[in-house]
């Protein structure tokens, strides 16, 4: 990937991430304010169930699709795109049909007890279309078509927020209507993804895959699928399930809002790079495993720079951020927000290692680590949330995240023999701490939206200047930054 292509992919990935998460955050704010903590907790639990089901059906297929298609673009004797797509699409549809049949049977026996029938139908349709949409997007990611992904996400997000605002304007703000809007947006996502995928597949010749390659795909899908499910348990709010089981709907809402805010923040900056990390490392790994390790080391350093950029202002202004966005009724979200921000930023570092393992066909190792982390998470969740509610959920989420990060760190140091430049990490963290100390004396100002923006901008400016003065950036990174700037000016 050239500097220009990498920069353009990062640009379109950034556009898609910013649009989706800013609008998603705005929708979350509207829904929370309109529904209240109890109903919003119910809504959040439904969304958690949908996401879990998508991971069950789609996780392994999507990860395998990204990896295989990215590799096929740099390997001469690799199967063609249409052949890989057709084989994976058949596996995807089969899995979807099986899960849908099981869900329908479960609904016939249990679903009619205390849930509105329309809500069940909306959620069922949303699950089908979101799953197929995520598969189509995985194909586009493997093809490096981040522009197409941005053109799918942007109009659909604006349609979504427009429908939510119309419901609010006309006073139709109930749980049923908001889930109906979610169903409509899921359908639009799917239709647009099919449109852009069509132009990637049209006029391509199809060939049959040999049995050994099919066996390789099936093995990768199986391992990646279990890995993605267990990763969801560890890193994607398994606490929501136990809070719904042992605690109140309000606590479900508080934790869900904290996770939404933290995930949006961590995705908008560190996640922009991680979105293109897997296809990038997959291609590097095919050229040279040593080069892929170098890319992994660089990626972790970049994540360190970006995480430090976020942590200090977000942790300090968390109370004001929650109050401005969600209002006084949700002030209890501030502390969960701080905990979850720390954990999600740490998870972004783990994403770098996961991308390397997947590109290097280490799904078995990934699976073992995620199984161990999942068991730790479930045990902690069940005990701590049962007795300590929301505080227990925060503690369980933090401890399981630290456990996972520690295991991956041990793998980096002792198995890969990868030497991390701890001095650079220390200088980066110290630059952030020093930049924060320069804005801290102004904490007596009224923390309205304008003050938050000015102080945060000042922190970013001081932080970037200090990175250069403290030599926290390597010469290679500085030269790469200059090359990216020149490439951006030419595009």
Phi-psi group of 188: left, alpha or beta (phi > 0 → left; psi -120 to 50 → alpha; rest → beta): alpha
Q: What is residue 427's three-state secondary structure?
A: helix
Instruction: Give the pair of three-digit tokens for residue 395.
Output: 């503690």
What Å distances lie between residue 330 and 312, 395, 469, CA to CA? Answer: 22, 20, 41
Segment (H or E) for 445 = none
> Along the 491 residues of the chain, how does pLDDT read in single tens digits?
444 555 566 667 667 777 887 888 899 999 999 998 889 999 988 998 898 888 888 877 877 777 777 776 665 555 677 788 888 888 889 889 998 998 888 877 775 556 778 888 999 999 999 999 999 988 888 887 788 888 899 999 999 999 999 999 998 889 999 999 999 999 999 999 999 888 877 766 666 777 777 777 777 777 777 777 776 766 656 888 899 889 998 999 999 898 888 877 776 655 444 444 444 444 444 454 556 677 777 777 778 888 888 888 888 888 888 888 888 888 889 888 988 888 888 887 777 777 777 667 676 777 788 788 888 888 999 999 999 999 999 999 889 888 888 888 888 777 777 777 788 888 888 988 999 888 887 765 565 677 778 888 888 889 888 888 887 777 766 666 666 556 555 65
CA nearest neighbour of 350 among 229, 473, 235: 235
DSSP letter, residue 79: P
> How many helices (H) does the chain have, and how many strands (E)?
17, 0
Angle subtended at Cα 342 by Cα 322 and Cα 398, rounded to the nearest 5 degrees: 110
Contact 62, 92 (CB under 8 A): no
CA nearest neighbour of 452 among 441, 461, 443: 443
- The whole-number pLDDT of residue 280 equals 47
Contact 292, 301 (CB under 8 A): no
Compute the distance between CA of residue 332 and CA of residue 251 in angstroms, rounded to an integer: 9
Domain locations in the chain as residue ranges:
3-420, 433-491
């Amino acid at each position: 990937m050239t500097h220009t292509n990498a920069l353009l992919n990062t640009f379109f990935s950034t556009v898609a991430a910013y649009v989706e998460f800013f609008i998603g955050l705005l929708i979350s704010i509207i829904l929370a304010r309109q529904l209240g903590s109890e109903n919003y907790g119910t809504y959040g639990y439904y969304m958690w169930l949908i996401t879990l089901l998508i991971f069950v059906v789609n996780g392994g297929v999507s990860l395998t699709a990204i990896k295989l298609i990215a590799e096929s673009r740099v390997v001469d004797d690799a199967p063609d795109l249409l052949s890989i797509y057709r084989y994976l699409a058949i596996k995807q549809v089969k899995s979807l049909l099986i899960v849908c049949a099981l869900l329908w049977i479960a609904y016939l026996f249990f679903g009619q007890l205390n849930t509105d029938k329309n809500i069940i139908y909306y959620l069922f349709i949303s699950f089908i279309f979101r799953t197929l949409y995520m598969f189509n997007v995985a194909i586009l990611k493997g093809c490096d078509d981040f522009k197409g992904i941005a053109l799918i996400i942007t109009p659909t997000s604006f349609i979504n927020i427009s429908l939510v605002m119309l419901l609010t304007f006309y006073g139709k703000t109930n749980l049923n209507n908001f889930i109906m809007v979610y169903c409509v947006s899921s359908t639009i996502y799917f239709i647009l993804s099919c449109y852009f995928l069509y132009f990637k597949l049209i006029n391509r010749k199809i060939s049959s895959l040999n049995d050994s390659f099919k066996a390789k795909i099936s093995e990768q899908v199986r391992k990646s699928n279990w890995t993605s499910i267990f990763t969801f348990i560890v890193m994607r709010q398994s606490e929501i399930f136990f809070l719904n089981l042992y605690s109140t709907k309000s606590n479900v809402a508080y934790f869900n809002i904290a996770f939404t805010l933290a995930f949006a923040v961590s995705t908008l900056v560190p996640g922009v790079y991680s979105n293109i990390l897997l296809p990038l490392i997959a291609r590097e790994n095919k050229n040279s495993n040593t080069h892929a390790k170098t890319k992994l080391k660089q990626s972790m350093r970049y994540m360190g720079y970006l995480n430090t950029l976020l942590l200090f202002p977000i942790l300090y202004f968390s109370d004001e951020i929650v109050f401005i966005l969600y209002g006084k009724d949700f002030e209890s979200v501030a502390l969960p927000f701080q905990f979850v921000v720390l954990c999600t930023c740490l998870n972004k570092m783990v994403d770098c290692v996961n991308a390397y393992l997947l590109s290097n066909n280490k799904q078995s190792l990934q699976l073992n680590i995620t199984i161990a982390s999942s068991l730790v998470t479930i045990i902690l969740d069940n005990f701590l949330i049962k007795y300590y509610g929301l505080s227990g959920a925060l503690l369980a989420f933090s401890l399981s995240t630290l456990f996972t990060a520690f295991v991956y760190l041990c793998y980096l140091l002792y198995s890969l023999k990868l030497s991390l430049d701890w001095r650079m990490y220390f200088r980066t963290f110290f630059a952030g701490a020093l930049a924060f100390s320069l804005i801290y004396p102004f904490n007596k100002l009224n923390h309205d939206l304008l003050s938050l923006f000015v102080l945060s901008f000042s922190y970013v400016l001081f932080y970037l200047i200090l990175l250069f003065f403290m030599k926290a950036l390597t010469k290679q990174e500085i030269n790469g930054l200059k090359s990216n700037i020149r490439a951006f000016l030419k595009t």
